[in-house]
Every structure is written in C-alpha cells, then in structure tokens.
Structure 1
Amino acid sequence: MILLVWPLWDMAGGHAEPLWLACVALAAVAAVHVAIVLTAFDGRVPMRIPISLVVAQTGLTSVVAVGFKGGWYSLFPLLGLATGVVVGHASRQARGPEASMLLGIGGVSAVCGLAGWVGGEDGTSILGNSYGTITAGLVTAVILRLFSAITLLRDAREELAEAAVTQERLRFSRDLHDLLGHTLSLMVVKAQAIRLVADRDPVLAAEQATDIETVGRRALGEVRQAVSGYRGRGLADELDAARTALCDAGVDATVLRDGPPLPAGPDALLGWAVREGVTNVIRHSGARRCEISVRNDGERVVLELKDDGVGPGGAVPDVNGSEYGAYGVRGGHGLRGLTERMAVADGTVEAGPAPGGGFLLAVTVPVTPSL
C-alpha cells in the first residue's frame, strides 16, 4: 500500500482535480486491493472471486490513471502485486501455471502500457510503469509458488518418514512371525503328546515337558534379542541406513566413528538409538545438518547425534519421555523406550539443546554391560 503515496502526493499538490473524486477513486482502489489479498489467501473462498476482483481493479486503475495521470500510474505496480497474489495461488490448482502467469501478469502489464499510451505518457514512462507491473507480479507469484513447493516437500518428507517407520514395523512383525511360528507349533505338538501319554508313560511325558521348557526358554531369548536389537541389524548397518535416510530427506549427514568394534549387546543398543534419533530428526526437527559420532574408549561407548534444527515445539525436552521438545513430540514412546532400554544395560540417555544451537541426543553405554 506504500505505492499509494504517489497519488496522495499529487492530491496534496493540487494536481488531482476534483479532489473529492480523487479521494473516492483512491479509496476504491485501496479497498479492492485489500479485498483481493484477503480473499486470495483464504482457502475457503472460491478462486473466481479474487480473479473477478483483479478484473475490477484493472478497470478501476486504468480509468483513474488515465483520468488523473502523473503519479496515479504507480497504481499499476500495485495492480501487478494483486495479480501476482492471485496467480500464485491459482497456479497451484491449474494444470498450466506458466500459462496463467503469462495471461494474468502479461495481461495487466499490457493494459498498463495501453493506459499510458491513451493518457499521452512518453515511451520511457510507459516502459517504466509496465516493467514495474511485470516485476511486481512475477516476484509475488514466484515467491508464493516457492512457499507452496516448500510445503509440498515438507509434507513429502513427513510421508517418507512415516512410510519408513511402517516398513520397519512390517519387517519386525515378519521377524517375530519367523521366530515364534515354528517354535509355538512345536510346543503345541509336544503339549498334545503329553496329554496323550501322561497316563500311560509318565517318564515320556516328563521328557516332553522338559523339551517344551527348553524350547520356550530359547524362544524367549530370541524374542528378547529381536526386541532389543531388531535381530541382526547392528550399529554399522544402522549408521549406513541413517546416512541414506538423512540424505534422502535433504539433511546433510556426517558420520564419525572412533574405536574398536563393539560386542553384540552394545552394538544392537546403539543401533536402536541411531534409528530412534534419526527418525526424530527427519520427522520433527526441521534440520539441515546432522552429525552422528560414536566414540569407544574400551570401557564405555558414547553416541552423539546433533542436528541444527529447532523443531515445531521448542520446549525443554524431558528424557523421561514426557516431552521431546526440540522434535515436537509430547508423550512419545520413542525416547522413553530408548531410556528404559539403556537403563537395563547401565546406560544413560541425555537430550537437550546443544551448545551453539540445535539439539543433541547423547547415549552412553558400557562396552561390557552387566547382566
């Protein structure tokens, strides 16, 4: 609306007569312009309404510019801004956004040149006003298109993260089925055998019961191993998967590892920690860079996952699981479950704002955890 200063300057200098008509015309242009912006940004309003208002502002601007001349031609760049707003929103729904830009912004720029020619402006003035109209419209439309593209990319990243979590859950379900399917079938068969021979051969029934106990204990151990480490997917594989997932999500990933290889237990636990931390970075942090470091001094191994995001939350996180503020997760089970798993292995989990900005997740576990 700062562009209205030029017509106001003409009115103050007595160059717009009659004054009352100039005031009415300027107020009408301003009202229509505000109505265009409000309706274009309101998703509940059909797009035909702001388009009709642009047509109205085009006609009104042309009439008052030709009638009052001088600084009133600055209303055409204001018209370009309004057209850019409408085109920027309408192009998201149109199949040919470039065509809508050409027709809309090019059309009002042509009207600007025609109005200048009818009003007797010289070529330099006509060219300057037309250039200002085109620039105002294109810049506005392109910025709105960029915001729309950013929103779509952000939604796509969220969907990819959710799809990755879903696929991991499906894989884990298949693992549990493979683990327990045969074992439970075997236990059922042996239980049936006990029922059949219990009266005739107590010794054989006791042997079958012992077998059931052995099979059950072995299955319980396999399930515990699967739950704690996702069975066979250790830290190295998780770091590779994390680097790929972060890069796919547009996050610059750096992975540093120092020290000797880890035993199976800590290796699986840290793999779980990497998976949980990277999932939260992708889904909630809004980060552009993420650094993962693993340091093993022979006694304890420290995993640090640091990003430069702020997340939609911003609250102070609580490692007990009630809040994961920088990632915007309240009451989530990921960090709480991770804390509980590390506590079983005498490990610790620390999460909070990192020095210098961003967020830091630090996990420490002993190389040889107590049993």
Structure 2
Amino acid sequence: MSSSVVEPPRNRRGFLLVAAHTLWLWLLLTPAAAILRGQVHPALPAAVGLVVFAVLYLALVAVTVADLTIRPAVHHGGLVAFALLGVGLAVAYGGGPEGWLVLLMYVAAAGAVAAVPATRGFGWIGGSVVAVLAIGAAHGLSASETAQAALITLLAGAVTLAFSRTARLVEELRRTQRELARTAVEQERLRFARDLHDLLGHTLSLVVVKAEVVRRLVPSDPGRAAAEAADIERIGRTALVEVREAVTGYRERSFGRELDNVRAALADVGITITVRETSRPLGVEADDAFGWVLREGVTNVLRHSRASHCDIEVDVDDGGAVLTIRDDGVGGRPQPGNGLRGLTERLEQAGGQLHVAPVRGGGLLLTARIPHPAGRTVTG
C-alpha cells in the first residue's frame, strides 16, 4: 500500500489567503474611525467609498488567489475601477490627518497580485508610488509623511508581487510533478505490457511446439514424449519466474542464454540453425536488447515462416553491434504488430534501429543495430 500527501484543494487554499488579506484591512480602521468621529466631510461619500473600496479589494484578490472563473475583461475593468476609486478617495480626503494615502498601498497590492507578467506588476506598483507622491505634494503634506506613505506602498506592492510570483511557481511545480508522475505511470504500463508480450509470446509458442512434439511421440516413443512433457513443465516454471521479474522491473535478457533457448526451440521443430559470432563481446545495452530481439525474431520464425533453416549473425565493430536473423521461409511483407513495435521502442531507447524486410529467394531478414555509447571504443 502506498501513501501520499493529500493537498487541500486550490480553492480552499485561495480562500484562506483571502481571509489573510481581510486581516490586512486593519489599516483602513484609521480613516474609518475619522469618519465616525465626524472629522471627514462630507462623511457619507467617504464612508460608502471606503466600504466599496474594501469589498472591491477582497473581490479582486479572491479572483486571483482562489482561482475564480471570471472574464479577463471584467477583472481588468474591476482593477481599473478599484484604482480610480482609491486615487479619488486619496485626492478628496488625503489632506487630513487620517491616513488616506494608505489606500494607495492596497491599490499597489491588488495590481501586484493580478499582474502577469511581472513587468506589469512593477509598472503598476511604480504608478501607485508616483500617485502617493503627487497627492501628498498636492495637499502640502510634509516630506516625511509623504515619503513614509510612498515607502509603505512600494514595500507592500513588492512583497505582494514576490509572494504572488512564488505562489505561481509553486503551483506550476505541483502541476509539473503531477505530469511527471502521470508520465512515469504510463511508461511503466508500456514497459510491463511490452515485457509481458515479449516474454509470453515466445514461451507460449514454445509450449505449443513442444506439445505438438509430445502428441506425435506418444504412440511411437512414450519415453521421449515424457521427457518433452517434462520440458514443457520446466518452460512453464521458467515463464512464471520471468513474469515475476518483469513485474518487479528487474528483467534482463542475456543474449547468450536466449541463444541457447532458441537453438533448442528451433531444433525441436526441425529447423536447422547457423550461428556466427565475432570474438568481440557485446556491450551491456546491446546484450540486453539483442536478447529481446532474438527472442521475438525466433518466435516469428516458429509461428509464421514455415522455414527449414535460420541464420543468426552477430557482428561487433568500432561503430557498434549488429544482429541479423534470416530465415528461408515464406517471407512476405511483415506487419507491424505489438512485438515489432516493442522491439523498435527498446532499440530506440538504446539509440539503435530495427529493420525487417523480405529477402530475394524467400524468407525474412531482421536487422538490429545499436551504436556504442559516446566516447566508448571496443577492442578485440
């Protein structure tokens, strides 16, 4: 049983962030208290404007951080209206001692949350800072008070922009991780299907051949028939082990072991075999891949060729390794089934190629090529 960390849905995380932004609205308590004390005139437009400003701020933040579905034009229009409202309130009431310039800090933060790409966010924050300086100068506020408000606006916008960019990068990383996990599962399924086909296809073909031999020998040579039946049992047990190895992902095809198996399989059906090998050893990748190629190629000879002779040749030189399997059967145009498709994928993973074609005079020629890894040379 596998365990995994269950992440909260994006909307839930978003609404938690909106709640955090709600707590940040405490800075608006100063102008709100001034309205309640009667220090702001006219009070009604200021109160309504401040409430609408707070609601718009939370709505704009929620659209982005809670991933709400809304048309971009509506979102951008709301952001512009929010900025105009904040500037209007600051212009109308910024001359008093109630801290109305703080509204521009929220304008900068709202634009930073929604800004994609980041350059727009920097421009929006810069515009908010310029607005603070202009409004402070227009109302004749002290340089220290105006500079303090501008610095707060700059820092709030920059921190919000950095946090927003980090959140987007984290979400992108999560999406990438999910995609990688999905791809890994798909690759493992393909590997298992390919291994299972290559393993059982050859084994079942061999079992059928052996069973036919047993059926022919039972009337005339019961002793040899019993030996062939025992061989079927051995093949079946070996197949079970191979399937378990394929499931765990540690299955490797040794070319030498496969060569011994195909010699016996072809001899059982009366197909003579000629093997030619060079003295140079196969590399690790070629040994494993050629084991699979040999298994599938000889399985096709057993199933379809009706051949009487099969030539297997392995050549290793400085350019790489080449395996050829040729029979003198009925030939014909090979169909790209699961077996050939699986072999092609295996060889491509090792940087190699597979070619299957009919040859003049009958039969098929299967050629597998695998280059040596870069920087590696083979010595005799």
Instruction: Please state which band the TM-score falls in when normalised by the shorter chain.
Output: 0.5 to 0.7
Letter in 1 for 2:73: R
Give 1:25's aligned residue: 49
Label 1:140 to 1:223 Cα distance change in 2 as closer, same or farther (>3 A): same
24, 27, 37: which is aligned to 2:61?
37
Equivalent pair of 1:172/1:230 in contact (CA under 8 Å): no
Amino acid paired to 2:32: L
Cross-structure match for 1:83: 111
Alignment partner of 2:83 out of 58, 73, 76: 58
Matches within 5 A, 1:222-261: 222-224=242-244, 226-227=246-247, 230-231=250-251
For residues 150 and 62 of structure 1, what CA distance do their matches in structure 2 show? 33
Equivalent in 205, 210, 213 of residue 230 of structure 2: 210
- 1:6 touches 1:74 (CA, 8 Å); kept in 2? no
Per the alignment, residue 33 of structure 2 pairs with 9
> Aligned in 2, Cα 1:80/1:197: closer, same or farther, shift over 3 Å?
same
User: CA 1:145–1:190 in structure 2 vs 1: closer, same or farther (change >3 Å)?
Assistant: same
Task: Quote the offset at 1:45 in angstroms.
Answer: 1.0
Residue 68 of structure 1, aligned match among 93, 99, 112: 93
1:188 to 2:213 alignment: no
SS at match of 2:40: coil
Shift of 1:177: 4.2
The answer to whether the 8 A contact 1:37-1:82 is kept is yes
Q: Distance in 1 between matches of 2:50 and 2:244?
A: 76
Q: What is the CA–CA distance in structure 2 between the aligned matches of 1:201 and 1:42, rounded to whole Å? A: 78
The one of 68, 73, 82 equivalent to 1:48 is 73
State whether residues 105 and 128 of structure 2, in contact with CA within 8 Å, keep that contact through their aligned partners in structure 1.
Answer: no
Q: Distance in 2 between matches of 1:158 and 1:118?
A: 54
Is 1:143 paired with 2:167? no
Write the distance in 2 (CA, Å) between the matches of 1:26 and 1:109: 20
Q: In 1, are the aligned partners of 2:62 and 2:68 still within 8 Å (CA)?
A: no
Asked if the contact 1:194/1:209 (under 8 Å) is kept, the reply is yes
Contact 2:113 2:161 in 1 (8 A): yes
The 2-side partners of 1:161 and 1:174 are apart by: 20
Query: Structure 2: how far apart are the matches of 1:35 and 1:225?
Result: 57
Checking the alignment, whether the CA contact within 8 Å between 1:84 and 1:136 is kept in structure 2 is no
Name whichever of 169-178 and 28-37 sits farther off. Answer: 169-178
Q: State the shift of 1:106 in Å.
A: 1.8
Contact 1:109 1:130 in 2 (8 A): yes
Shift of 1:196: 4.3
Quote the Cα distance in structure 1 between the aligned partners of 2:56 and 2:227: 91
The alpha carbon displacement at 1:76 in A equals: 1.3
Q: Do structure 1's residue 113 and structure 2's residue 133 form an aligned pair?
A: yes
Match of 1:365 in 2: none
Question: TM-score, length-normalised on structure 1?
Answer: 0.53
Alignment match, 1:155: 175
In 1, Cα distance between the equivalents of 2:234 and 2:224?
A: 15
Gaps of 5+ in 1: 92-96, 233-371
Query: Are the equivalent residues in 1 in contact too, given 2:217–2:224 (CA < 8 A)?
Result: yes
What is the identity, as a one-letter code, of the residue corresponding to 2:29? V
Can you list the C-alpha shifts for 1:9-47, whole angstroms capped at 9, x where unaligned? 333454311223322332232233233233334431123
Structure 1 residues 132, 50: closer, same or farther in 2, change over 3 A? farther
User: What residue is the counterpart of 1:281 in the other structure?
Assistant: none
Distance in 1 (CA, whole Å) between partners of 2:219 and 2:251 is: 41
Deviation at 1:77, TM superposition (A): 1.3
Runs of 4+ aligned structure 1 residues displaced above 6 Å come to none
SS of aligned partner of 2:39? coil
Matched residue type, 2:46? A
TM-superposed CA distance for 1:204, in Å, is 4.7
**In 2 relative to 1, CA 121–170 (structure 1 residues): closer, same or farther, beyond 3 Å?**
same
Cα separation, 2, equivalents of 1:226 and 1:53: 59
1:259-298 → structure 2 map (5 Å cutoff): none
How far apart, in 1, do the equivalents of 2:244 and 2:80 lie?
A: 69
Letter in 2 for 1:155: R
Q: In the alignment, what sits opposite 1:238? A: none
- Are 1:3 and 1:78, in contact at CA under 8 Å, matched by a contact in 2? no
**In 1, are the aligned partners of 2:108 and 2:124 still within 8 Å (CA)?**
no
Paired-residue identity, %: 38
